[in-house]
Amino acid sequence: MEFKKFKLRELATVDISSVDKKTKEGEKPVRLCNFTDVYKNWAIRSHMYDSFMKATAKQKDIDKFSIRKGLVAITKDSETRDDIGIPTYIADDFNDVVLGYHCALITPHENFSGAYLNAYLNTKMAKKYFEGYASGSGQRYTLTLDSLNDIQIWAPETREDQEKIVKILNDIDQKIILNTRMNAELETMAKQLYDYWFVQFDFPDENGKPYKSSGGKMVWNEKLKREIPDGWEVKNIFDVSDVLYGFPFATDCFVDEITDKPVVRIRDIANNTTSAYTTESVDDFYRLNEGDLIIGMDGNFHMNYWHNNICYLNQRCVRFREIIDFPLSTIQLYYNIKPILEHKQKSIKGSTVGHLLDSDIKDFWILCPSIKYRNHVKQQFDSILRIITKNKNETIHLTSLRDSLLPMLMNGQLTI
């Protein structure tokens, strides 16, 4: 299989979208594939349709920027260099979905595979090119139409050979998608279970009937300002969980190469990733465990279950860990804390950045079932969390495998 060097303009047509998020009278209703949709996904597939936001667009923009199978979308503008030049492949046809602004739509010529282009633009070579050609400074960076058109693409001359390479990567991506969808369904199941026990209070009573609906005794709780089942308790977070604030790592000790100390920062929490390594000495006291609940204390207060035992927690993050003396599932803790954080986020005005303080966390009050139910509830939640964590670890491994295969397939080190 021989590779040849092309410029993107020889292989495809690039159009920069001008479709904004507004709904305007006189325009046609559409769904919008936005910057975030492009940024977060290797491919855009039909099952994602309902997640696209509703908007309107002019007919000429619908004609020009409708997404369909075989095209590639790419992020074009962002506040940081790292967030531009991120591609996604349009894997299915859509009837009324258009690409939103801050993105560009790439239409490959007939003999060139969009799936191959997406794979190539995901390589470190392409990312380095886009980082170097990003114009602007301070508030916003952008890629010009010329910089997009002029990127060099190494590709087999025949579409057949391009598709052979792509198939390997797509097979991996399909498994990643399956894991993601499974976890979304498990999260829904966990939320329903939490609501059943801790919101509706319709857990089975001694006769197997729904407790509250069957007239189970409720008592007023002053801490929560609500009624709770008789015999249940409300405890402070520090009494039912091991709480730890992150270590103040020095940023000048952060390095690009991999060390034995990956650091979890606020930006890493939402996606369960690590974006920095350190050479600094740190006590294992700050090491995360699989199943820990972690929260970012600045910004949007991202919260997630952690998935491995090799990372260290950075400052302005807080960790909650199960304690032996009290049976409390991490999932139960997550859904108990979530509305508290959402309320605090809503109370922040304008462009002010939110901060979670030690005093805020000391005011976290956790609703706990009576003793006879605690182990049962924990076992139900823990069985769900084990599968979620397993799928997350597998997805991280598959993503790493896909990313390591990419350059070797593209430069001919691996043959099909």
Q: Where are the domains of the chain?
A: 3-157
> How far apart (Å, rounded) are the C-alpha atoms in residues 178 and 171?
11
283 CB burial (10 A radius; 0-12, 13-18, 19+):
exposed
Which of 11-20, 47-56, 262-271, 344-353 is least confident? 344-353
> How far apart (Å, rounded) are the C-alpha atoms in residues 196 and 37?
32
Query: Of residues 399 and 103, which shows the higher confidence score?
Result: 103
The 3-class SS string of 111-154 reads: CCCHHHHHHHHCCHHHHHHHHHHCECCCCCEECCHHHHHCCEEE
Amino acid 364: pLDDT: 97
Q: For residues 156-166, give the mean pLDDT.
A: 91
Amino acid 329: pLDDT: 96
Amino acid 353: pLDDT: 83
Fold of the CATH domain 3-157:
Adenine-n6-DNA-methyltransferase TaqI; Chain A, domain 2 (3.90.220)
411 pLDDT exceeds 80? no
Amino acid 351: pLDDT: 66
Q: Which residues pair with 77 in a beta bridge?
A: 142
* Residue (of 309, 265, 264) closest to 289 by Cα position: 309
> Is the CB of residue 136 less than 8 Å from the CB of residue 78?
no
375 pLDDT exceeds 90? yes
> What are the distances in angstroms from CA 116 to CA 12, 72, 158, 169, 363?
12, 10, 11, 9, 52
Coil, helix or strand for 77?
strand
Residues 20-49 pLDDT 10s: 998 999 999 999 999 999 998 999 999 999
Torsion sign, CA atoms 220, 225, 227, 228? negative
Torsion sign, CA atoms 382, 387, 388, 394? positive
Residues 72-112 pLDDT 10s: 999 999 888 888 999 999 999 999 999 999 999 999 999 99
> Is the CB of residue 246 less than 8 Å from the CB of residue 286?
yes
Q: For residues 347-365, give the mean pLDDT.
A: 89
Structure tokens at 297: 């204390």
The model's confidence at residue 416, banded by pLDDT at 50, 70 and 90, is: low
> How far apart (Å, rounded) are the C-alpha atoms in residues 336 and 317?
18
350 pLDDT exceeds 90? no
- Averaged pLDDT of the chain: 93
Structure tokens at 77: 């503008």
Task: Give the total residue count for the chain.
Answer: 416
Q: For residues 169-173, give the mean pLDDT.
A: 87
Coil, helix or strand for 182?
helix
pTM: predicted TM-score of the whole model, two decimal places: 0.80
Residues 249-304 pLDDT 10s: 999 999 988 999 999 999 899 888 888 999 999 999 999 999 999 999 998 899 99
